[in-house]
Amino acid sequence: MPHPLPRLTLVLGGARSGKSAHAEGLIEAQPRPWLYLATAQAWDDEMRERIALHRARRPDGWITQDVPLALPEAVAAATGPVLVDCLTLWLTNLILAEADVDAATAALLAACAAAPGPVVLVGNEVGLGIVPDNALARRFRDAAGRLHQRLAAQADRVVLTVAGLPLIVKPQPGATP
């Protein structure tokens, strides 16, 4: 019997922290079909290789949709368990498209609240390092922090992955989920 997931889980972590693998495992413990909403865009060979590795790692049973910008709409249309990977690439796409990030975030929050199945969101925690040396990078870092805060406030569970280890941040340890 599958282990029930909270309605909304946010999984954060640094590069190669194990966040995607952890999130995939959460969804794979749910009944199929599993929907993978991919926000990456393959702009170069290195990114194409990363995307191919992610796809190859997933077992059969995943339905993958590429949604570089239309993430809220894809979440709203979902009928079962959903994995979004990743929020920070989606944010990058929004910024580069000069889209309204606040409106897109509000739409994503509404879609997650209305989703019929569990939603697991993956994001890169980019605010733990040094202050970026240029305005665009600082704008991105700040926008990512605001995006994650808004999603974490609505999430039932927030997980921080470090060195492949999932650390439950919300609910607080000892609290009732």
Q: Which residues pair with 63 in a beta bridge?
A: 35
3 is catalytic: no
Residue 134's Cβ-count burial label (10 Å; 0-12, 13-18, 19+) is exposed
Q: What is the rounded distance in angstroms from the CA atom of residue 50 to the CA atom of residue 71? A: 20
Paired tokens of 25 = 């495992």
CB-based contacts of 175, cutoff 8 Å, min separation 6 = none
Can you point out the beta strands (E) in 14-131? 34-38, 62-66, 82-85, 119-124
> Which residue is associated with the tokens 């240029």?
134
CB 82 within 8 A of CB 128: no
Q: Provide the annotated active-site residues.
A: 54
